[in-house]
Structure 1
Amino acid sequence: MREVEYQEKVAEKATKEAALSSLDTLVKMDKRNQALVQAKETKNMLVTKVNAEKNVLAIKMELIHRRVTNMLDVGDRSLDALSEMDKALKQRLTSAISRKELANWKKQKNESTLANYQEHEIEKVVEEFNRLNQETLENSKVELLKDLEHLTDTLNGEITDQRQDVNRLKV
């Protein structure tokens, strides 16, 4: 009987321990469920926060993309404007060079024409002088002859100067 009582006590004790163990297991499961719920809530909060940050980053990226696109458009327009300016300046340079060459050609032509005219006028003056000199000799007037000699010297000097000027202009 002792053995039965002892086994009953042991069984009762084991039953109490099993009940306590079940209760402990339920408490632990409840704590783990609460921890799991809290972990899920924390995870959901983190997911929400990450998604919000992703949205902010997506908006920022879109804004940056727009700014970069705008800058590239402005850069392209600037390059186009610079290209047009370069083209216009090259045309102006070509035109200026052509006008300069034409002006130099006209100047040389005018100088040549002037030199020819001056040479012709000098020849006329020399012919006139020779004619007057001949008349002076024919008239045999001594006073006039002296004046003409003086004039001849002066004209020869001027003719020489003008011929030198003409020769300089030709060169």
Structure 2
Amino acid sequence: MSRLTHLDESGRARMVDVSDKPATTREAVAEGFLRMSAETLALALSGEGKKGDVRAVAEIAGVMAAKRTADLIPMCHPLALSKVEVRAEAAEGGLSVTARVKTTGPTGVEMEALTAASVALLTLYDMLKAAEKGMVIEQVRLLEKTGGKSGDWRAT
């Protein structure tokens, strides 16, 4: 197993020094799923819920979350993001969320993509919980990342 980069030689937490790393184009895509009943899904897709268009609000929340990742995850670097795209789409059994984040910098945007997807899912739950409290957030994961020293990676 490779050494954990957020721990120093004595095992103490630290922010990784990226000052000597070159700025390269980096992109990451994450996804997640909110499982719900057919009735709740129909309400979500109608755009007529008491709180408005739940998918549009969740997509905006995901974008906002990506931009605030360094405020939420202690060892993340604040990054100038060049693209954040979050989509909440109907899928069998619920809503699927995909978040794509891009930057040119010395470190990757995997955490920003995962944060965007997670917060979008939490926002969907919040906006739909009056209709169904038993919804389940599941399968939040990194789908792919490109750029940087470690190169490209895709989930199998």
Q: How does the TM-score come out when normalised to structure 2? A: 0.23
Structure with bigger strand share is 2
Q: How does the TM-score come out when normalised to structure 1? A: 0.21
Q: Which has the larger radius of gyration?
A: 1
